[in-house]
Amino acid sequence: MSYLNKRLSLVAVACAFASTHAFAEDSSLTNPNISAVLDGFYQTGDRGLGGREEGFGLGETELAISANIDDMFYGKVTAILESHDGETEIELEEAFIQTMGLPAGLGIRAGRFLSDVGYLNNQHLHTDSFVDRPGAYRAFMGNHYFDDGVRLTYVAPTDLYWTMGVEVFKGDKMRAADMYEEHEEEGHDEEEHEEHGPREYDTVGVYSAFTKFGGDIGNSSSWQVGLSYLYNANGKVMVVEGEEEEGHADEEHDHEGHTHSASYTGENTYIADFVYKWAPNGNYKYQHLTVSGEYFRVTDTFSFEEGDHGHEEEDHDHEESHGDDYFEGWYLSGVYQFSPHWSAGVRYGEVDTYELHGDHLDPQKLKETELSLAWHHSHFSTVRLQYTNQKGTNFDGFEDDNIVSLQYVMTLGAHGAHQF
């Protein structure tokens, strides 16, 4: 072998070693984080608005893989498996890329991901301190709203933590279904569906904006407040008025079905949230308290359109909106970890909605009072016992009840840090 060839071989070995050493410094480039979350439960009754059902069951089993793609991008994929009515449903919850290190505090996320509106929505269900999400989330966000789209965020260079962002989504999970009235004459209902539906939905249907700011109070306390707005171009229920007073919804518009779509929608959703956390000297391991709450208001929910059901002179342009109707919901919760392995929580929430019956709206109300006690052997394992007092007015599919739930949540493998 010539001197030149020997020198080239040594250079190649040195380059290979340097490259391997560089990748080893960031292990996620070669060893991605892979995890699974197991969620099982037993429950003595049915929870309303898409909550867990009576008996033994599985919540969301989560399979996730994440890693730094390179020094500029991070990626994550999360699949969820859930059992319902003897069938296993599989859905892709996350599949996104995230920029890292953009200048001026900017960040971009693209793909499928959890919206950052509100406080709980951008957190996975297994991180919750209660068996189910609050009723407002189950009603207005389909438990947690994730969708295909893009997000732009900005973190301001201020002493006080301040971030803001905008999102654009496809919006399929937030679509409202049309409603059609029945008619005495044969064929009218079918004609009405042909004339007015299915509606042509906007392919980009949801736009959101949010801001969050917070800070510390001494060494032991911290806080955060947020305001969010979500515009849903396909969120208003279009009601075609008919000759009778009894209306019915499309088969897809199922308020009590088990789905990750919102049960109650409108054009505009406003959310205000806050969270306060306390831990002695900032040490959360042995003792800490979390108090949080959110308020939802959903407006422009119904739009009424008149037609003459197939007569020669038709007027499809008359459209009337009930501006006074709106949905709202809120919750307030407190969770206290009083030892390294035990925590207790209390949560109260209400949801106020309307159900359309003919030419009028019937009010619906859900009240939930919940008490939980959880044992945490480690950061990766939780066993929770929860009592829920549920009171529902004018809802189909569930009744007033006292429900006891026993749940386990177990994490296998590496898992990223939880949100604030």
Q: How much is the pLDDT for 395?
A: 84
Strand blocks (E) in 12-128: 33-43, 55-58, 61-68, 73-84, 87-99, 106-114
Q: How much is the pLDDT for 256?
A: 45
- Mean pLDDT, residues 257-269 taken together: 82
* Contact indicator for 55, 42 with CB cutoff of 8 Å: yes
Question: Does pLDDT of 201 surpass 70?
Answer: yes
- Report the chain's mean pLDDT, rounded to a whole number: 83
Closest C-alpha to 212, from 255, 163, 280: 163
Which two structure tokens, joined as six digits, stand for 136? 């407002």
- Residue by residue, DSSP assigns 204-236 as S-EEEEEEEEEEEETTTEEEEEEEEEEEETT-S
Is the model more confident about 357 or about 23? 357
**Among 197-206, 238-247, 266-275, 366-375, whose mean pLDDT is lowest?**
238-247
Sheet containing 319-321: give its strands across.
247-249, 179-181, 237-241, 302-306, 319-321
How many CB atoms sit inside 10 A of residue 59's CB?
A: 22
**Among 65-69, 226-230, 347-351, 393-397, whose mean pLDDT is lowest?**
393-397
Question: Does pLDDT of 217 surpass 80?
Answer: yes
* Contact indicator for 177, 156 with CB cutoff of 8 Å: no
Q: How much is the pLDDT for 68?
A: 93
Question: Does pLDDT of 176 surpass 80?
Answer: yes
Which two structure tokens, joined as six digits, stand for 279? 């831990």
Q: How much is the pLDDT for 18?
A: 41
Instruction: Name the band, by pLDDT with cuts 50, 70 and 90, for residue 355.
Output: confident
Q: How much is the pLDDT for 413?
A: 87
Instruction: Name the band, by pLDDT with cuts 50, 70 and 90, for residue 29.
Output: low
